[in-house]
Amino acid sequence: MAEPQDTRVAVYLDFDNIVISWYDRVHGRNSYSKDRQRIQDNPADAEVAERLKAAMIDVGAIIDYASSFGTLVLTRAYADWSSPVNAEYRSQLVARAVDLVQLFPAAAYAKNGADIRLAVDAVEDMFRLPDLTHVVIVAGDSDYVPLAQRCKRLGRYVIGVGVAGSTAKSLAAACDEFEAYDSLPGVERAAAPAPTAEAAPKKTVAKQTQGARKQSRATAEKDEPSTSDQEQATATLVRALRLGHDKSDGDEWLHSSAVKTQIRRMDPSFSEKALGYRSFNAFLKSRADIAELEESGHERLVRLRES
């Protein structure tokens, strides 16, 4: 029998959502909608198979991340498992004790209703399993905002997982914590989509090669955190430090872990790794003009520099 203090986790995956979002992340915006018919008609085609393989989701990385919050008591994945793009994952999911919930689309290009079925099941589970402490929602659709809010009102800690660039900001904000799939341990960042090759006269080959190099550099830069992302993270850090100082009854130094917790409360999608830093400590050191860091033994303290 589980002890009262044990954390117990339920995981819900809108599998179509995460697979399609990652496909678009790897191959370029709207790539899945363009390739959908080819995938349905001839999934064994060499080019189609190669594109699907390049955009495979690491199911284990998601489940392992969810397990870091406590004991997994149930894990469900919602999708049309007869679809070739999803069928590839069935053995992986079954091997990780994931329940596969079959959904059938109303039409070839209609929504499959995963959000409705998933939400209904999750709320039912909250009442059926009162010892659940954490809920992990793997999706990116803003339709899940009411579900995240309801789970929080029912006293559960809500974690969201979604593909960077394809997740509604409102969903990330509705969670207690949000992590980009791209940032999960073991997941390789998506390479920049390669430009499609076109037939051209020989005299333009050199120019095309040079252009391709420029395009490659440009797309590689797009994968790096933008200046606005860095500026937003800096502003959030300043606010967190000020709030911490205001609540600490005059204590100048704050524990860095408490500062990170406050940042996560203000912006659940915050991730130092997504910003290019190996640790929160490295993130603080990169902003030495704003945050003063003191390290003594295992204790790391931080305070806002006086202007």
Which domains are delineated in the chain? Answer: 8-183 (3.40.50.1010), 229-304 (3.30.420.610)
With 0.75 as the threshold, say if the pTM is over it: no
> Contact, 101 vs 78, CB < 8 A?
yes
Match 């809010």 to its residue by tokens: 149
Residue 106: which residues within 8 A CB-CB, separation 6 or more? 112, 113
Output the pLDDT for position 250.
61
- What residues in the chain have per-residue pLDDT under 70? 1-5, 105-112, 190-225, 249-251, 307
Concatenated DSSP letters for 208-249?
A: HHHHHHHHHHHHHHHHSPPHHHHHHHHHHHHHHHHHHHHHTT
Considering only CA atoms, which of 121, 113, 114 is closest in space to residue 75?
Answer: 121
Digit-coded pLDDT (tens) for 216-255: 443 434 456 678 888 888 988 998 888 888 777 666 889 9
What backbone phi and psi angles, to 5 degrees, belong to 97?
60, 35
Output the pLDDT for position 264.
84
Output the pLDDT for position 211.
46
Output the pLDDT for position 119.
94
- Hey, what are 146's tokens? 């009411």
Output the pLDDT for position 136.
97
> Contact, 163 vs 180, CB < 8 A?
yes
d(CA 89, CA 299): 44
d(CA 120, CA 40): 29
Output the pLDDT for position 266.
81
Considering only CA atoms, which of 224, 212, 199, 21 is closest in space to residue 114?
Answer: 21
Output the pLDDT for position 305.
86
Output the pLDDT for position 111.
54
Output the pLDDT for position 307.
63
d(CA 270, CA 258): 14
Output the pLDDT for position 1.
36
- Hey, what are 71's tokens? 């004991």
Q: Collapsing DSSP states into helix, strand and coil, what is residue 292? A: strand
